[in-house]
Structure formats: C-alpha cells, structure tokens
Amino acid sequence: MRSSIRSSTRNSIRRLVSNHMIDRRSENVTVEEGDRRTWELAGQLVQIDSSDPGAYESQIEQWIYEWLTEEIEEKAGALKNRIELIQKEVMPGRFNLMARIPGREEAAASSLVYICHMDTVMLGEGWEEDTPALGAVVKEDRLYGRGACDMKSGLACALSAFSDMAELAGSTGELPVRPFVFIGTVDEEDFMRGVECAIRDGWVGREDWILDTEPTDGQIQVAHKGRTWFELTMQGITAHASNPWKGADAIAAMAEAVCHIRKAIGSCPVHEDLGMSTVTFGQITGGYRPYVVPDSCKVWIDMRLVPPTDTAAAKNIVEEAVKAAEAEIAGVRGSYTVTGDRPYVEKDSGSRLLASLKSVCDRVTGEDTYIGSFNGYTDTAVIAGTLGNRNCMSYGPGSLELAHKPNEYVPYEDVCRCRRVLTELARQEAFFPFAF
C-alpha cells in the first residue's frame, strides 16, 4: 500500500513540476537538475499528511526510508553497505530516522548533521480552494501546502544534499573525512520527544556540527529564546452569585495573577540579540455557570525568556503573582507546575560551523548573509541547551511568518538557494575540509 501511495504521489507532483518547468523554460531560465529534483521532492513530501496532532509521521517516515534506500542503492556504488540507515521507535508507530555516511577510520572528526522534523502542525481550516493543505500546488513560483516552509522544503533540501554526498562517495570510492548524517525527527511540533530521543541514543553529540532547516528568511539563525511553560491553578470557594462574599472567586484571582505576570515579564531586561522576554496566556478554563462563584480556574502560560531572565526568575514572578492574587481575593489559594523548561541559547561568535556556513552562504548567494536569532524553539536549540553544543543553528527556505497558517507556501528560489548551500556545505566540510 505504501508503494502505491508513493507512486501516485510522485506521479501527480511530477505533473505539477513539469508544467512549472515548461513555464520557466519559456522564460529562458536554466534550472539545474538538482534544483528540479529537490523542488519535486518538496512537493511529494507536502502531499503526505504528517500533521501533529493528526496523521503523525508513520507514513512520511516510511516514505523517506524507502526513498533513501533507493538513493543509496543507486548512487553509493561499492560503499552502499557502509552507509547506515536506522529507524528508532520513539512512541508507538512514530519513528526517528537516521542515515549516516561514516568518516574515514583515521579521521576522528565530529559529524556534520542535518536534522529535520517530519511532522507539521494540524492541517487546519481557511485554505483557498485552489491551494488545499495537501495539494502541493505550484502557483507563481510558489509551492503551497501544509509544511511547505515548515519544514518539508527544508527537509527536501537536506535529503537532496545527503543523496548528493552518497553519490560523491560512490563516484570517488572514498568515504568523507567527516561523518555526514541526516536525521528525521518526530514530535517537534509538540513536546519535541524525537530530538530528546536522538540525544539519548547518541545520534548527536556535544562536538558535532548540527544544522536544522527551519524557515529563516535567508538568514543564519543561531540563538533562541528560552521556553518555559507553566500550569497555574487558583482554587476558590463556590457560592451563589447573589452572595459572592460567601465564596472566593478563582477567576477574579486568576485575573490578578495574569496581570501581575504580564507586567513583570514586560519589565524584564532586553537582550542585545534576542530582544525582550514575552508571555502568552494560551489557554484558560474555569467556572461552570454564570450565576455561581467559580471555585477553580486554570491557565496555561508560555514564556519566551532572554538572558538574564531564566526559569528560576520566572518561577519567582509566578510565585509573587500568586501571593498578590491571594492577598486581593480572600480565601483563594494558588499553585503552579512547570510543564516545560527549555533554556535560552546565546550566539557563539566563535562557532566554527557558523563561520563555515556563512562563508558558503555568501559564496552561493553573492551577498553578505545576515546572522540573526530564531523566535521559536527548534531541534537544534534542544541539542544546544541539553549538551552545551555551540555549533547548532538554523538555515532553511521560506519564512517563519508563513508557518502554521493557512495557504502556507515556499518560493522556488528559496528552495534552490538552500539546496545549493546545504550541498556545498556538506561537500566542503565532510569531503574536502582542507581544500577551502
């Protein structure tokens, strides 16, 4: 069944790409074969539902596994049996995937790793009729669909680079100096359990050079705000709304706490690279009838923190908010739980991967590539925060502003640029690190 789905997906997207290529030829635009194949691959991946929550990654992971198997078999020549292809179950039916070209035995270099998540957010509503979520429609040099920029086009660029390096190994009969690795992870759009499993399994290490392909608007993004999550609960006393003084209003107390936290986070120090700390009260529940004093209220809080404000400082803010709410609304008691704690990651200007990646980007684009920070939290941020790895960063096609929205798309030129950068970086740092 998977083979028939894959064949159908491939044929349909090839028709779309073929039409697109005819248009570009009419404009006398020469398109490299590698660009065309990567653009086609991105469309194939978009057509596979890997929404989280939703279909999850089972189908797309198996599809990629089969694609890599064919690429390695076809291109790696006598070295094909040296290339590792590993599936690891993270949760029932949800597998991380790793493909690894080993380095030469005499070289003890760290690995160059491209890590990409295979899941997307929910398909969602609001898609235009001519650009459905799984349509992979190409229109005006843009590929539309859920995950087009976050991050199936980046995933396609990383896979394309791995295929090219397998072919380079096969044609030269030589393994790279530095091991070259592709990792596909699950659950990035939720609790990031895929990358946590990859860390535990030793797929990535402190000294590795690790790049994810999140959409970065043409920038290299090397720093991340911390991400701390709280569940804050207020317990009150129920009473009839006509006699509110006989109860203790948990929702009123929560309002006091929310205002205190919002103002406190807004007054935290601003960081030179990462900007200001922010807070979002993303979900709230409480009460059960409008004529009853609510005896319970819970809010889920997302804080994005910049140095020097860390989780310890955030806990102090929440504790002060609870005290203020309890003082204002007699009879209420507050409590909280930290449900997520990801440390901020600051830029390391001495990163060797950063220097190499910027050099390649500048050479490929002919421009001075901007180095910035990533507003969200990525797989490489988890690795950097957990292992203290200073060679972790993001570079991929598309714009984060389009991610998680209906009518998400990625421009053709972005995919071409990213593919060329990733392929050149792998060629330079894995196979010919002393030639540049």
CA distance 302 to 229: 5
Q: What is the mean pLDDT of residues 93-113?
A: 88
Judged against a pLDDT cut of 50, whether residue 25 lies above it is answered with no
Same-domain status, 126 and 110: yes
Torsion of CA 29, 35, 38, 42, to 10 degrees: -40
pLDDT at position 435: 58
Q: For 221-235, b where at least 16 C-beta lie within 10 A, e where not — what string? A: bbbbbbbbbbebbbb
Q: What is the mean pLDDT of residues 287-307?
A: 97
Q: pLDDT tens for residues 412-425?
A: 999 999 999 999 99
Q: How confident is the model at residue 103 (pLDDT cuts 50, 70, 90)?
A: very high
DSSP label at residue 174: -
Judged against a pLDDT cut of 50, whether residue 19 lies above it is answered with no
Final residue belonging to a domain, choices 340, 361, 395: 340
Same-domain status, 311 and 280: yes
Same-domain status, 155 and 51: yes
Q: How confident is the model at residue 107 (pLDDT cuts 50, 70, 90)?
A: low
Looking at per-residue pLDDT, the higher value among 97 and 19 belongs to 97
pLDDT at position 4: 44
Judged against a pLDDT cut of 50, whether residue 340 lies above it is answered with yes
Residue 395, domain member (yes or no): yes
Q: How confident is the model at residue 432 (pLDDT cuts 50, 70, 90)?
A: confident
Residue 15, domain member (yes or no): no
Q: What is the mean pLDDT of residues 37-54?
A: 98
Judged against a pLDDT cut of 70, whether residue 105 lies above it is answered with no
Residue 24, domain member (yes or no): no
Looking at per-residue pLDDT, the higher value among 107 and 60 belongs to 60
Judged against a pLDDT cut of 50, whether residue 3 lies above it is answered with no
pLDDT at position 121: 98
Judged against a pLDDT cut of 90, whether residue 307 lies above it is answered with yes
Phi, psi of 186 (to 5 degrees): -105, 165
- Percentage, residues of the chain above pLDDT 90: 89
Q: What one-character-per-residue DSSP string does 371-386 give?
A: EEEESS--HHHHHHHH
pLDDT at position 32: 83
What domain range is 173 assigned to?
Answer: 32-222+343-430
Instruction: For the beta carbon of residue 34, count every other beta carbon within 10 angstroms.
Output: 17
pLDDT at position 26: 33
pLDDT at position 13: 42
Number of domains in the chain: 2
Same-domain status, 370 and 407: yes
Judged against a pLDDT cut of 90, whether residue 20 lies above it is answered with no
Domain of residue 242, CATH code: 3.30.70.360
CA distance 396 to 181: 17
Final residue belonging to a domain, choices 306, 340, 374: 340
Sequence-ordered strand ranges (E) for 213-365: 220-224, 226-235, 239-240, 278-286, 292-293, 296-305, 333-342
pLDDT at position 232: 98
pLDDT at position 434: 65
Q: What is the mean pLDDT of residues 243-270?
A: 98
Q: What is the mean pLDDT of residues 311-316?
A: 98
Cβ atoms of residues 325 and 297 within 8 Å: no
Residue 291 CB contacts under 8 Å (≥ 6 apart), including other chains:
240, 241, 242
Q: pLDDT tens for residues 232-246?
A: 999 999 999 999 999
pLDDT, mean over the chain: 92
pTM > 0.85: yes or no: yes
Domain of residue 420, CATH code: 3.40.630.10
pLDDT at position 106: 56
